[in-house]
Structure formats: C-alpha cells, structure tokens
C-alpha cells in the first residue's frame, strides 16, 4: 500500500527539501555554460555531446510530456516526507521513511539536473547504483524517450518497495529495481550489457567509487556516460574524482554542483 500522509510530518524535512530546490543555479549555471564552451574548444564527438548536455541543463526546460510526470514524482515525495513508517536502514537500525527520503534522495534541483543530462544523452539502458525511495530513478526514467529503461540497485528491500510504489504513483513504467548489495548485484547486472549510462549514487567512499567506475567502464558500450554523485563529499571522494576523470577511457568530463560527469570514449 502507498504510504498515506500523517499529521506528524516534521516541517523541517519539507524546509530542507524546499531549500535545496532553490539552490539549482545561478552560480552553477555560469560554471556549466563555461564548461560547455571549454568542451567545444576541446573538439571531438564526446566533448561535443557533453557540451550539449550541459547547455540543455543550463536552459533548465522540462518537456511538456515530462512535466506532469515530474509533478507526480514531487507529489509522491511530499507524501513520503509525511510517512511515519519505519524501515530497516543503515545496517542494524530502522529509520522513518520520511527521514530517509529527506536525507538520501536527490533534492528537486539535483534530480532535475539528472533529468536534463539523461534527456540530452538519451541512453537506451540506464543503470543506477542506489535507489533509495526511487526519486532520482524516476526523474531519469522520465527523461528517456521510446523504449529506454532504468535499472536501479538497492540493498534494502523495504526501500525498493517504496521506490516501486513511487514509480507506480508517478506513472513510470520503464524503471525496475534489483535488490541486494552492489557486491552481489553489480557484476551480474552489468553482464546484461550493453549499458550506455550509469549513475553512481550509493556507498560514497573513494575506493568503492573508483571500483564502481572501473567495473562500469569495462561493461558499458562505447560512448557511455557515467554520472557520480557527491564527488566533494569527503577527501576520499575528491581524490576518487580526480583519479577517475584522468582515466584513459574518459574523453571528456564536467562538474555540475556535486555531480561529476564522465563521457567515455
Ligand atoms: C544516496 S541514496 C540514493 C538516492 C537516490 N539515488 C535518489 O536520489 O533518489 C543511496 C542508496 O544506496 C543504497 N546503498 C548504499 N550502499 C549500498 C551497497 N553497497 N549496495 C546496495 N545499495 C547500497 C542505500 O541503501 C541508499 O538507499
């Protein structure tokens, strides 16, 4: 059953999400436009593709088809922010769905950013590491035209169920979740190649992130895009980002807020 709203929603959770919703630009927009210009100067197919994705992002226009879907996702997010249901979270603890949603889901600004990137890239098979309650997968799935799909990996079955409910409520039928830890699910899922887009948003530790990039880069199709969240989260993540953006198989890279983008050769 979809979680219904309760009267005990902590107003701070809404405030937190709403505040993040207003942070999208203009500082980030300026940097995005500048990076797009530099990518063009660099020349080549992948820098050009990435430049176009950044320009789409800077324009921040959601299509008429996607807008009602994203509105329904945000309405579902608001319902989750009122949910007092407790689910397993972070090893041996339980936590309210409201708090998990507020703390771990991409805020509207970051989710919209991913939506624009995916809308520009148009992958046919997108993979996400870290589903949580399904918000970012929904934004990305809504950006893919035609028969493209999003597969998302999540350790906690209760969160995976919340995600499936959110997608159903938003009318999204091109997303699926695979339950289990990345150590068990990533390799077999990647073996269902080809993937042409991977968003890494779970287990934000430097060495793990480098490992996921290595695994993803080996399994994705030529010209795939990798997106990494929280590249400035810690010294370890900053070091990982500096390392992965210099990989031989990276044709072009960009940073949008706390998200790093790697366009592979
Ligand atoms: C930051 S949240 C993802 C948020 C989601 N992408 C969104 O924006 O809507 C990270 C998720 O990854 C999951 N996760 C973290 N480490 C994991 C691992 N090793 N295996 C599987 N799932 C993991 C967590 O349970 C959590 O739900």
Summarize pLDDT for 130-159 with one digit per residue, the tens: 999 999 999 999 999 999 999 999 999 999
* Per-residue pLDDT, 90: 81
* Per-residue pLDDT, 13: 60
H or E segment and range at residue 67: helix 66-80
State the distance between the two ends of the chain, measured CA to CA, in whole angstroms.
44
| Degrees, nearest 5: CA angle 43-45-51 | 70
- SS3 for 176? strand
- Pairing mode of beta strands 86-89, 93-96: antiparallel
Q: For residue 212, which phi and psi values (nearest 5 degrees)? A: -65, -40
Closest residue by CA, ligand 1 atom 16: 203
The CATH architecture one would assign to domain 11-264 is 3-Layer(aba) Sandwich (3.40)
DSSP 21: H
* Per-residue pLDDT, 28: 85
CA of 149 to the centre of ligand 1 (A): 19
Of 102, 132, 167, 205, the one to substitute when testing ligand 1's pocket (max ligand atoms within 8 A of C-beta) is 132
CA of 147 to the centre of ligand 1 (A): 25
CA of 186 to the centre of ligand 1 (A): 13
Q: In this structure, are residues 235 and 91 in contact, taking their beta carbons and an 8 Å threshold?
A: no
Q: In this structure, are residues 133 and 80 in contact, taking their beta carbons and an 8 Å threshold?
A: yes
Query: CA neighbours within 13 Å on the CB side: how many for 185?
Result: 18
76 pLDDT above the threshold of 60: yes
State the burial class of residue 60 (Cβ atoms within 10 Å of its Cβ: 0-12, 13-18, 19+).
Answer: middle
1 pLDDT above the threshold of 80: no
- SS3 for 14? helix
* Per-residue pLDDT, 6: 39
Nearest to 21 by CA among 132, 109, 121: 109
21 pLDDT above the threshold of 90: no
H or E segment and range at residue 153: strand 149-154
14 pLDDT above the threshold of 90: no
Confidence band (pLDDT; 50, 70, 90) for 16?
A: low
CA of 226 to the centre of ligand 1 (A): 16
* Mean pLDDT, residues 85-108: 92
* Pocket of ligand 1, beta carbon within 6 A: 104-106, 130, 132, 135-136, 153-156, 159, 181-182, 201-203
* Distance between CA atoms of residues 144 and 157, nearest Å: 25
Atom of ligand 1 lying closest to residue 111 CA: 8
* Distance between CA atoms of residues 108 and 37, nearest Å: 26
Distances (CA, A) of 149 to 176, 196, 198: 8, 11, 12
38 pLDDT above the threshold of 90: yes
* Distance between CA atoms of residues 199 and 173, nearest Å: 19
CA of 129 to the centre of ligand 1 (A): 6
Angle between helices 108-121 and 66-80 (to 10 degrees): 150
* Distance between CA atoms of residues 42 and 38, nearest Å: 6
Atom of ligand 1 lying closest to residue 100 CA: 27
Atom of ligand 1 lying closest to residue 89 CA: 25
22 pLDDT above the threshold of 50: no
- SS3 for 168? helix
* Mean pLDDT, residues 205-226: 96
Average pLDDT, the chain: 91
Domain ranges of the chain: 11-264
Q: What is the pLDDT of residues 156-178, one digit of tens each?
A: 999 999 999 999 999 999 999 99
């Amino acid at each position: 059953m979809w979680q219904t709203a309760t009267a005990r929603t902590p107003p701070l959770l809404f405030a937190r999400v709403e505040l993040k919703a207003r942070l999208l630009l203009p500082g980030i927009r300026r940097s995005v436009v500048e990076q797009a210009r530099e990518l063009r100067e660099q020349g080549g197919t992948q820098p050009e593709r990435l430049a176009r994705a950044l320009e789409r992002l800077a324009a921040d226009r959601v299509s008429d088809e996607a807008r009602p879907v994203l509105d329904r996702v945000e309405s579902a997010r608001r319902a989750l922010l009122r949910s007092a249901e407790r689910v397993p979270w972070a090893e041996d603890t339980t936590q309210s769905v409201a708090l998990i949603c507020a703390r771990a889901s991409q805020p509207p600004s970051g989710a919209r950013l991913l939506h624009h990137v995916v809308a520009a890239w148009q992958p046919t098979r997108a993979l996400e590491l870290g589903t949580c309650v399904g918000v970012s997968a929904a934004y990305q799935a809504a950006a893919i035209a035609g028969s493209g799909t999003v597969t998302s990996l999540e350790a906690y079955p209760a969160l995976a169920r919340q995600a499936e409910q959110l997608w159903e409520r938003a009318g999204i039928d091109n997303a699926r979740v695979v339950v289990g830890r990345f150590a068990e699910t990533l390799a077999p899922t990647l073996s269902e190649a080809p993937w042409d887009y991977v968003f890494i948003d779970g287990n934000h530790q430097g060495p793990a992130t480098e490992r996921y990039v290595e695994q993803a880069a080996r399994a994705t199709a030529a010209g795939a895009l990798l997106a990494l969240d929280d590249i400035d989260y810690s010294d370890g993540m900053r070091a990982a980002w500096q390392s992965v953006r210099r990989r031989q198989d990276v044709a072009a890279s960009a940073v949008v807020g706390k998200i790093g983008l790697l366009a592979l050769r």
